[in-house]
Amino acid sequence: MIYLIPFFLVFPGEHLRICPQEYTCCTSEMEDKLSQQSKLEFENLVEETSHFVRTTFVSRHKKFDEFFRELLENAERSLNDMFVRTYGMLYMQNSEVFQDLFTELKRYYTGGNVNLEEMLNDFWARLLERMFQLINPQYHFTEDYLECVSKYTDQLKPFGDVPRKLKVQVTRAFIAARTFVQGLTVGREVANRVSKVSPTPGCIRALMKMLYCPYCRGLPTVKPCNNYCLNVMKGCLANQADLDTEWNLFIDAMLLVAERLEGPFNIESVMDPIDVKISEAIMNMQENSMQVSAKVFQGCGQPKPAPALRSSRSVPENFNTRFRPYNPEERPTTAAGTSLDRLVTDIKEKLKLSKKFWSTLPYTICKDERVTAGPSIEEDCWNGHTKARYLPEIMNDGLTNQINNPEVDVDITRPDTFIRQQIMALRVMTNKLKNAYNGNDVNFQDTSDETSGSGSGSGCTDDICPTEFDFITTEAPPVDSDRREVEASATQPGWSLQTLLVVFVSLVLQRQWR
């Protein structure tokens, strides 16, 4: 909004405190009002100019969060449907084991204090306890005995190699997904906070002199010189420019984790077939049931026989539910209406555009034809005193470089504490992203710069995760897409081994065509 000034009165300007004290049409009261108008216009300009970067983080955070949450819901629903069809009542009687798995995964994603490795170990131990009772119905097992059974999970590997592979895939994928969404949250909050500027008195004086003193001098059509505008904006936004270094490191970190989400840490490729992988593990357990039982009996002792009614039931009868082939639907889509790869590609492009945003903010504002005469007009523009070329040199970016700013009085000894808080928030988040890139998890409240992590561990294997890297580049090292370790294999327990293998192959084919 432009403040309208009547030009029918002209008088000496000795009373002016900001504009040149020459003939003017502005009173002291008008100068005060125009100063407040300048402040308001500046605040609106900054908020309007930062609209893109703010909406980028707001909208993409919403999409990613929506995508990840519904991905978990779809995976849980898919497993439940598959296991109800395949295992029937046996699954329904033990479904809380699987429900607890997904509850803990959701709790981890939403910021809960969950150790992924311990949680997954507990899941397989509980599943072993339940399955061990089902394959040995002729015995009665006490709680102490079942606890002894669970201790053999790692030693006997009753579920084959599925738990180890799934642990690697789940931990690194969930660490990357959660950290990436947290990064979008931090970027959103920092952008929202920093874009709400509070200009200093010195800045307000400089804004008034640049924007409205031409009106007071009777030059309403003359716009400020471009370089003049740059020095005013660099002085007014000196602290914001100091955010730029940490902001760029943060954007680099987000881009690198995004590369991981597209490649080896792709949570979609982990969660989509998780029902098939767990089913494969159950089949491995059934195939090795005799050996597993013998080893457990040897280590934990011979259990007591169950009551006669129960002991008369054979193992096949215990699993003899009517089998109905599982017919998976098309690969689930989320309310985000897209796949993870498309979401990541989109956000990467937006993030790249937001690099160096805070240091280039003065240039973006001064390019606005509503503000200045433009860089091509050097003579017929307002230089702060009259209609002529602006001669002072352009200041460099940042607070310390404003010591000799000719337009804005800047106290370089007093950095803005609010901006410094945002710099620290970015630094903490960048540290988390560094760790997530390497498959490591750290406490979200950790404010140290150390890369030592706590929580879920690395989730990496030597052939997939690189060594800790020097965090200096936007480009992520190339990752072989064949290393995703996404197996599409399934199983159905019960009846003969031949039947199980047929069902297993059938599910493999169905999964491959999803």
In a domain, 291, yes or no: yes
In a domain, 411, yes or no: no
In a domain, 292, yes or no: yes
In a domain, 222, yes or no: no
Q: Return d(Cα 65, Cα 50) in angstroms, integer.
A: 23
Residue 376 confidence (pLDDT): 87
In a domain, 381, yes or no: no
Q: Return d(Cα 53, Cα 487) in angstroms, integer.
A: 39
In a domain, 130, yes or no: yes
Tell me which residues of the chain have a pLDDT lower than 70. 1-17, 20-24, 308-338, 443-514
**Which residues, at least 6 apart from 128, have a Cβ–Cβ distance to it below 8 Å?**
149, 150, 152, 153, 158, 159, 285
In a domain, 499, yes or no: no
**Which residues, at least 6 apart from 65, have a Cβ–Cβ distance to it below 8 Å?**
181, 184
Report which secondary-structure segment, H or E, holds 502: helix 497-512
Domain count, the chain: 1
Residue 223 confidence (pLDDT): 94
**Which residues, at least 6 apart from 208, have a Cβ–Cβ distance to it below 8 Å?**
18, 19, 31, 34, 35, 38
**Which residues, at least 6 apart from 114, have a Cβ–Cβ distance to it below 8 Å?**
104, 107, 108
In a domain, 294, yes or no: yes
The Cβ of residue 40 has, within 10 Å, a number of other Cβ atoms equal to 14
Predicted model pTM = 0.79
Query: Which domain range does residue 143 map to?
Result: 45-190+257-307+336-368
Phi-psi region of 154 (alpha: psi -120 to 50; beta: other; left: phi over 0): alpha
Name residue, tokens 């899941």: 123
Phi/psi at 11 (5° precision): -150, 165
Furthest-apart CA atoms within the chain: distance in Å = 114
The Cβ of residue 230 has, within 10 Å, a number of other Cβ atoms equal to 22
